[in-house]
């Protein structure tokens, strides 16, 4: 018997997460496929191409999930495959997604299906996509078709992935590598978020009309914001503004019907439409950010953001490794008394020298949060396999399995076996820590 063990709740979901464009291959009818054609948009000139070849053979990776003792997986459906032309729905695409969901079910893996994960059909993009409020009924129509076609195979639905990331990366940040690549437009950023939340609310009601027992949520990306200079009043002010705009505004709209910064005044009716449209809330957590006052940064509320000087960084300075931020975000979500899923958590780490400790430290924090009776239902590691990482192309390796995109060869990393051993016993034990991350033993199990 191990010296000490942290048990997770019975029926806890141990999973991985993926997105359609990043793994399926040969997605050529969405705005990302177009974006990839322009030099400079993707690091190294990479393209998704065959990706992880899931459209032809996702089932081989489903078998790998079984080998890792996983009981859940979060995947997305590609709108441009299902509705390649406005109003036309492709039965063959639906049939392939049925095969995928059946494949997961037959292996004892519960699917969580995301309905929008960053990609738009080209026809929708040409109409302004999420800049245009007419996207709301179009998304609702798409959702109704999907749930009528796949609802017998899926009970847990995620309407939209990370509205704040989609809007901020596409319309606000100067170093954006995401379409449409129109930085510096704060008002348009807020409009896109607003339309996404209205579409989420419409999808929530449509899902329940078609499938009354469905469990419907949204994946919200949260960052831990802290002032760069703890004793600087203006750093505290812009830190609070950044946090409200990026983290809290969406939560206030969904939970309380308060648009606040996202919309401003005169939108009571739409605010009421959004309020209370969650059966659960998903948390995508990766990193901490420091904010400081900079009068030149008008488009971002006079706040500049950087990583913690001297902080522990992942590959390519993707972000600071800060597990305590996960607890802080979970504490904020727990106030809403809803079930919580950690729908994404991971880091790029090609040589796997940081990932084992990253997993152990974040799961220890997750376990601690559960001891406060937070309603945490599951954890989805990003990701099962190296995949096409949007504007970063193929250089960032998030997978428990390494992938050679040219040969499609998969190689398990040591962290895959660590995650397997935790999921198999539904616990984090001193024996597991001793085997995979012995340097953490004195602090986790003193």
Rounded distance, CA 404 to CA 7, Å? 36
Alpha-carbon distances of 11 from 27, 121, 426, 444, rounded to whole Å: 35, 37, 9, 24
Residue 259 pLDDT grade (very low, low, confident, very high; cuts 50, 70, 90): confident
- Is 367 contained in some domain? yes
Mean pLDDT over 376-403 rounds to 98
Q: Please tell me what DSSP assigns to residue 85.
A: B
The CATH number that applies at residue 195 is 3.20.20.80
pLDDT above 80 (res 175)? no
Rounded distance, CA 441 to CA 219, Å? 32
**Tens of pLDDT, residues 53-104:** 999 999 999 999 999 999 999 999 999 999 999 999 999 999 999 999 999 9
Domain count, the chain: 1
Tokens of 384: 């099962």
- Is 272 contained in some domain? yes
Q: How confident is the prediction for the chain on average, in pLDDT?
A: 95
pLDDT recorded at residue 150: 98
Residue 446 pLDDT grade (very low, low, confident, very high; cuts 50, 70, 90): confident
User: Rounded to two decimals, what is the model's pTM?
Assistant: 0.97
Residue 441 pLDDT grade (very low, low, confident, very high; cuts 50, 70, 90): very high
pLDDT recorded at residue 298: 82
- Is 429 contained in some domain? no
Contacts of 156 (CB under 8 A, 6+ apart): 110, 111, 112, 113, 214, 215, 217, 280
pLDDT above 70 (res 353)? yes
Rounded distance, CA 13 to CA 10, Å? 9
- Is 419 contained in some domain? no
- Is 17 contained in some domain? yes
Residue 300 pLDDT grade (very low, low, confident, very high; cuts 50, 70, 90): confident
CB 121 within 8 A of CB 84: yes
Q: Is 140 helix (H, G, I), strand (E, B) or coil?
A: helix
Residue 267 pLDDT grade (very low, low, confident, very high; cuts 50, 70, 90): low
pLDDT recorded at residue 280: 98
Segments forming the whole domain that contains residue 238: 12-414
- Is 160 contained in some domain? yes
State the DSSP string of 249-291: HHHHHHHH---GGGT-SS-HHHHHHHTT--SEEEEEEEEEEEE
CB 234 within 8 A of CB 298: no
Can the peptide bond before residue 131 be classed as cis, meaning omega within 30 degrees of 0?
no
- Is 441 contained in some domain? no
Mean pLDDT over 104-133 rounds to 98
Can the peptide bond before residue 383 be classed as cis, meaning omega within 30 degrees of 0?
yes
Rounded distance, CA 158 to CA 17, Å? 12
pLDDT above 70 (res 261)? no
- Is 440 contained in some domain? no
Residue 218 pLDDT grade (very low, low, confident, very high; cuts 50, 70, 90): very high
**Tens of pLDDT, residues 329-344:** 999 999 999 999 999 9
Mean pLDDT over 9-35 rounds to 98
Q: Please tell me what DSSP assigns to residue 87.
A: T
Alpha-carbon distances of 127 from 31, 131, 234, 238, 296, rounded to whole Å: 12, 9, 41, 35, 33
Rounded distance, CA 155 to CA 92, Å? 22
């Amino acid at each position: 018997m191990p010296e000490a063990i942290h048990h997770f709740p019975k029926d806890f979901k141990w999973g991985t997460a993926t997105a359609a464009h990043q793994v399926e291959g040969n997605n050529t009818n969405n705005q990302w496929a177009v974006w990839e054609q322009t030099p400079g948009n993707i690091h190294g000139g990479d393209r998704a191409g065959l990706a992880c070849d899931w459209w032809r053979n996702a089932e081989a990776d489903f078998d790998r999930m079984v080998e890792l003792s996983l009981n859940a997986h979060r995947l997305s459906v590609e709108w441009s495959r299902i509705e390649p032309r406005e109003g036309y729905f492709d039965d063959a695409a639906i049939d392939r997604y049925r095969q995928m969901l059946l494949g997961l079910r037959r292996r004892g893996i519960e699917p969580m299906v995301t309905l929008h994960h960053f990609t738009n059909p080209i026809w929708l993009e040409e109409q302004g996509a999420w800049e245009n409020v007419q996207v709301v009924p179009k998304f609702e129509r798409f959702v109704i078709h999907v749930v009528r076609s796949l609802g017998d195979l899926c009970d847990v639905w995620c309407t939209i992935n990370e509205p704040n990331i989609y809007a901020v990366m596409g319309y606000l940040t100067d170093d954006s590598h995401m379409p449409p690549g129109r930085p510096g437009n704060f008002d348009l950023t807020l409009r896109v978020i607003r339309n996404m939340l209205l579409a989420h609310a419409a999808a929530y009601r449509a899902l329940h009309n078609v499938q009354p027992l469905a469990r419907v949520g949204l994946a919200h990306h949260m960052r831990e914001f802290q002032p760069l200079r703890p004793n600087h009043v203006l750093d505290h002010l812009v830190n609070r503004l950044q946090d409200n705009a990026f983290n809290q505004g969406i939560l206030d709209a969904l939970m309380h019907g308060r648009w606040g910064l996202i919309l401003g005044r005169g939108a009571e009716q739409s605010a009421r439409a959004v309020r209370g449209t969650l059966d659960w809330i998903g948390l995508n957590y990766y990193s901490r950010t420091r904010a400081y006052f900079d009068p030149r940064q008008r488009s971002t509320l006079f706040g500049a953001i950087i990583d913690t000087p001297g902080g522990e960084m992942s590959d390519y300075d993707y972000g600071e490794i800060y597990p305590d931020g996960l607890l802080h975000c979970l504490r904020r979500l727990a106030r809403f008394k809803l079930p919580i899923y950690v729908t994404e958590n991971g880091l790029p780490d090609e040589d796997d020298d940081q990932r084992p400790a990253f997993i152990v430290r974040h799961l220890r924090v997750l376990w601690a949060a559960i001891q406060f009776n937070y309603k945490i239902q599951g954890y989805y590691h990003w990701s099962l396999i190296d995949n096409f990482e949007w504007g970063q192309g193929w250089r960032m390796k998030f997978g428990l399995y390494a992938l050679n995109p040219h040969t499609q060869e998969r190689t398990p990393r040591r962290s895959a076996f660590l995650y397997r051993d935790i999921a198999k016993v539904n616990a984090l034990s001193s024996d597991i820590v001793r085997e995979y991350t012995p340097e953490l033993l004195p602090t986790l199990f003193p």
